[in-house]
Amino acid sequence: MNRAMLERARRLLCALQAHIRDTIVAARRREAGKFARIAAVTAADTIYHVDRLSEEAILAWFEAHWPHAWPVELVMEGLEEGGTTTFPRGTPVGRTQWKCILDPIDGTRGLMYDKRSAFILAGLAPQRGPRTHLGDIAVAAMTEIPVSKQDRADQLSAVRGGGVKAETADLVQGTRRRWTPRPSQARGFGQGFASFARFFPEGKALLGALEEDLWRELGLLGKNGGQQVFDDQYICTGGQLFELVVGHDRMLGDLRPLAYAKLGYSAASLCCHPYDICTALIAREAGCLVERPEGGALRVPLDTTTPVAWVGFANGHLARLVRPMLRRILAARL
């Protein structure tokens, strides 16, 4: 894939996501009361009415705008036949050129209760069949779906090796402004935001103990009376990556698959999945590190059901500081 082709693909993903965002924002004005209705429960997640709105917009957009010369397999929750379809319609998967994994709305619960922005996430990889994995993604985009009182929305996108492009759209005026995201360059965690995901009652005690162990090893637990590290539980993997990229958080991660395995819980619907973290490329292009909790690259398949444990760092110094401690803690606790 040459650079011009990848750049065109980036622009297509951005246009798709802007269309989804605008569709949802417009629908919210018309039928806000329906957003929280459950439409279906799948192996990947609970599907709400707002999810159905985005899925319909996605399929219509691909039909109308995706280049026929670039046959693509689309992977996302909400689709029948194993969570995939192809464009042009009917193209055998073996003849597709791209694999696009997409999360129509990451952070549905926060959005439908109008608490916090959600994000549309998409990653595009050269098609390698079942062997295609997260590390193959060459183009990614993420677009904010803001809460109702917010009239601006951010969009981040990247081509591998090309850095991050960032824009803010004014949804009232229809204008866009470019800006440059800057991850934190802090060399420690004191007086900063950092945490591991523990959104649900299941596993909360174990996950909290793992995190407390880490702060103890780093010498921050109880230091100067305590309260040295702040916790922000953003129930949205895309939102967490965004917080790393723009410099709000210094470390974030999701250890739930490991904790649930230890406790004997099913991880099917409670964990991060590949479509939730398909924009890790953007964080890496910004200078962050996103990896397995024990270290090493994430190489999970591009599907809708595989549980994914991950840790993200705002910079390399923080990663080098935490890695050995986190390995020891995981070995002792899990």
Model confidence pLDDT, tens digit, residues 181-212: 999 999 999 999 999 999 999 999 999 999 99
Tokens of 331: 């070995």
% of the chain with per-residue pLDDT over 70:
93
* CA proximity to 307, closest of 203, 164, 169, 174: 203
Nearest to 20 by CA among 118, 149, 159: 118
Task: Enumerate the β-bridge partners of residue 196.
Answer: 253
In DSSP terms, 75 is beta-bridged to 84, 101
Proportion of the chain above pLDDT 90, given as a percent? 81
Taking the alpha carbons at both ends of the chain, their separation in whole angstroms is: 42
- Quick one: pLDDT at residue 55? 86
pLDDT of residue 194: 98
Q: What is the pLDDT of residue 59?
A: 94
Give mean pLDDT, residues 157-185. Answer: 97
pLDDT at 180: 97
The residues, any chain, with a CB within 8 Å of residue 12's CB and separated by 6 or more, are: 65, 66, 67
Task: Give me the residue label for tokens 């230091």.
Answer: 223
Tokens of 239: 């939102």
pLDDT higher than 60, residue 124: yes
Mean pLDDT value of segment 136-159: 97
- Residues of each domain in the chain carrying CATH 3.40.190.80: 192-333
Cα gap 74→88, rounded to integer Å: 11
Q: Report how far residue 152's alpha carbon sits from residue 164's, in angstroms, rounded to the nearest whole number.
A: 19
Looking at the structure, give the CATH architecture of the domain made up of residues 3-179.
2-Layer Sandwich (3.30)
The rounded distance, in Å, linking the Cα atoms of 313 and 317 is: 9
pLDDT at position 245 is: 98
Phi first, then psi: give them for residue 207, nearest 5 degrees: -65, -40
The pLDDT score that the predictor gives to residue 82 is 64
Model pLDDT, residue 79: 78
As beta bridge partners, residue 85 has 74
Type of residue at 280: A
- Angle CA(263)–CA(266)–CA(272) in degrees, nearest 5? 100
What single-letter DSSP state applies at residue 133?
Answer: B
Q: How far apart are CA 39 and CA 30, in angstroms?
A: 18
For 298-324, write each residue's pLDDT tens digit: 999 999 989 999 999 999 999 999 999
3-state SS, residue 299: coil
Burial of 301 (0-12, 13-18, 19+ CB in 10 A): middle
Q: What is the pLDDT of residue 81?
A: 59
pTM for the full predicted model: 0.94
Q: How confident is the model at residue 225 (pLDDT cuts 50, 70, 90)?
A: confident
Per-residue model confidence as pLDDT tens digits over 234-266: 999 999 999 999 999 999 999 999 999 999 987
Look at residue 147 in the predicted model and tell me its pLDDT: 95
- Return the CATH number of the domain spanning residue range 192-333: 3.40.190.80
Tell me what the mean pLDDT of segment 107-117 comes to.
90
Q: Which residues of the chain does CATH 3.30.540.10 include?
A: 3-179
- Phi/psi for 332 (5° steps) reads -75, -35
In the predicted structure, residue 167 carries a pLDDT above the cut 90: yes
pLDDT in tens, 25-52: 988 887 766 666 666 666 556 667 777 7
Contact 159, 10 (CB under 8 A): yes
- 328 pLDDT exceeds 60? yes
